[in-house]
Amino acid sequence: MFESPFLRARRELCDPSAVKRSSSWWRFGVAVLLVSLFATVASAGPRERAKHLHDRLVGIPPSPEVLDDMADLLETEDPVDALAAADLAMENPTFYDTALKNFVTPWTNVDQSVFAELNDYTATVIGMIRDDIPFNEVLSRDIVYVGAQQLITDGVIDSAYSHTDNEHYKELEAARVDLSDVDVLVSMPQSGLLDTPLNTNETAGVITTRAAGEAFFSAGTNRRMWRFTSMNYLCRDLEDLKDISRPADRIRQDVSRSPGGDSSIFQNHCVGCHSGMDPVAGAYAYYEWDDEMMRTTYSRGNVQGKYQINATTFPFGFITEDDYWVNYWREGQNSALGWRGEVTDGFGAKSLGLEVTGSRAFAVCQVEKVFQQTCFRPAESVNDRIVVEQVATIFETEGYSMKRVFAETALYCTQEVVDPEPSE
């Protein structure tokens, strides 16, 4: 006899032995979440719940037809149907053109501004989420999303993708094209772009998009790329990763070992960030943003000059000779980030991207960001944190689907549904 997920969840809550027999430990947590969800929203009618869910995901009310369909799905109180209702809401083009664009845009610029224009980084994340491409490939896959050639043929836009400007995406945004349409926003390999400097092994998802290069490879020492990768995909800034117990052998020459003549400052402060950051930032040693050409360049086999900047500050410091990286944070306090696999080092940005997205912290971070987006608040209460961990596990075990994360968190966040308005 078929047993719905909701009924199975209720049975497992009442029968501890059933929980022990469950094939995955997280099923019990999900059961708690599902029962809590439907118990809480039971007082509100399915139409009110449907509207609230649509508003949280898309930011605008649903059409009458969509509202009816979502309400019908929610009325069954079956968790599978509830997820289907959320999926139905996410079919609205506004989810991609506005909600997702606003969600992703701050990741693409140093100011973390939501007001930046559409670019290849933003479009690629939107496309990956739309097409349910496993999001743990966001920092490693050879992929970029561009406007379809047919848009140029039909005169909707004039400019094709270019490595040297953002006109293509500015025109897509100005034309208000439907980013939810698979025939409008299409994927292609970065290595297949005209005049690309990269082969497929040198691409690294959004890291090697033009927008990321302009924002994070420009000037500096390429440490900025690591900092914003960590902030966006591990939800941790450098201060959060600070650990003075890590080896200092790969800290570069430009870092003074006695700032202001006091070596204790280096030992107790500087080493905390640089001992972990410098070893991983070596992955970007061949990338540079060229201000004259307005594009990212790649010096295959030759370390960019910025890695030797201020070499006389401490001549005995580490000299970067290739794009080798090593993760010293797999030990010490940052082992709590849940690094996985046996590989602790590698060469290039692609392999480092796999290291980051393979961690537990990556999964939790994505859920936390979506939680903030759909709940309009950070996950702070005990129940919130339980749900974040549960949804992160679903994310990892169900193909790293970001749409599933949006659905799960929005359903949780709409528990406190407003009471139906009294009829006149």
Q: Lowest mean pLDDT: which of 89-98, 242-251, 332-341, 407-416?
A: 407-416
C-beta atoms surrounding 409 within 10 Å: 27
pLDDT score of 342: 82
CA 275 remoteness from chain centre: 25
SS3 state of residue 145: strand
Q: For the whole model, what pTM was predicted?
A: 0.89
What average pLDDT does the segment 255-276 reach?
96
pLDDT score of 230: 98
d(CA 243, CA 118): 37
pLDDT score of 68: 98
Q: Helices 402-413 and 26-40, interaxial angle, to 10°?
A: 40
Q: Lowest mean pLDDT: which of 2-16, 162-176, 381-395?
A: 2-16
CA 293 remoteness from chain centre: 29
pLDDT score of 267: 95
What average pLDDT does the segment 162-175 reach?
98
Q: Is pLDDT above 50 for 422?
A: no
Q: Is pLDDT above 70 for 39?
A: no
What average pLDDT does the segment 209-229 reach?
98
Q: Is pLDDT above 50 for 420?
A: no
pLDDT score of 343: 85
Q: Is pLDDT above 60 for 38?
A: no
The position carrying tokens 């970029």 is 144
**DSSP codes joined into one string, 331-368:** SSGGGGG---SS--EEEHHHHHHHHHHTSHHHHHHHHH
C-beta atoms surrounding 343 within 10 Å: 13
* 64-112 pLDDT tens trace: 999 999 999 999 999 999 999 999 999 999 999 999 999 999 999 999 9
d(CA 381, CA 412): 13
Q: Which two tokens stand for residue 276?
A: 């972990």
What average pLDDT does the segment 362-375 reach?
98
Q: Is pLDDT above 60 for 7?
A: no
The residue type found at 308 is Q
What average pLDDT does the segment 24-36 reach?
48
d(CA 334, CA 239): 12
Mean of all residue pLDDT scores within the chain: 90
Q: Is pLDDT above 70 for 125?
A: yes
pLDDT score of 341: 80
pLDDT score of 416: 57
Confidence of residue 5 (pLDDT cuts 50, 70, 90): very low
Which phi and psi (to 5°) does residue 325 adopt?
A: -135, 155
What average pLDDT does the segment 180-201 reach?
96
Q: Which two tokens stand for residue 309?
A: 């900047």
pLDDT score of 33: 54
